[in-house]
Amino acid sequence: MSKLILVRHGQSIWNLENRFTGWYDVELSENGILEAQKAGELLKAENINIDHAYTSYLKRADNTLKIILKNMSLKNMNIIKSWEFNERHYGSLTGLNKAEMKEKLGENQIKIYRRSWDIAPPELEKNNDFNPRSDKIYNNIDSRFIPNTESLKDTYDRVIPYFDLNIKTKIIDGKNIIIAAHGNSLRALCKKLFNISNDKINELEIPTGNPLVINLDAGLKVLNAVYLDGNRKQKLIINQ
């Protein structure tokens, strides 16, 4: 049996400001730091041995993972960063206030952009200040792989191949894995692991900074899954 621990990064500054963030690189808020610290404390109390740690290219996820590992007394553990675990790219919505855009475009349209399976927001212009193509953290990525917008399906199509190629065999070998990533990249992974339909995936919410511990057998069948912070848990959808 293997434990796969999924943690959405702690609250970011733009989460606090209710802005669409996507691939833009923002810091954790003070509350987000506290959430990451608590996540580490909860995991340490479970006495879980971590064999491999993964995160995205974005510092809100990377710093969340570093805080968690520090609080688990695992400061020297190697962290593998993958752009495939980045948040979904929100296109031209990046940087905009969610409430203001809901008023401008209508609640239904924003719900489609945020929660539909295969509909992406309009593309972000290349000269936009929030375009990740100008961020040096992506200098080693082929520009063809940097999107201008994404649907959840697009996110799924980069997360799952990476997971299958780099993490699946470790789970089969019984290793324990932690992934600190983002709401939509983790929703994409949960869609695969929990066998959630295209129609139902919009119902899955991932809380910030709350470790989801998934026990998997060697065939990647979910034996059970639980959020460690019961006061902040969200409903899980498991169809196995």
| 123 is annotated as an active-site residue | no
Dihedral sign, Cα of residue 13, residue 15, residue 18, residue 22: positive
> What CA–CA distance (Å, rounded) separates 44 from 48?
7
Q: Please, what is the angle between helix 98-105 and helix 107-115, to 10°? A: 120
115 burial class (0-12, 13-18, 19+ CB within 10 angstroms)?
middle
| 9 is annotated as an active-site residue | yes
CA distances from 202 to 52, 175, 190 (A): 29, 30, 12
- Joined together, the tokens standing for residue 108 give 């239904």
Choose, from 9, 84, 89, 182, the residue flagged as catalytic: 9
- The SS3 of residue 110 is helix
Choose, from 30, 46, 84, 87, the residue flagged as catalytic: 87
At position 70, the amino acid (one-letter code) is K
The catalytic site residues sit at 9, 87
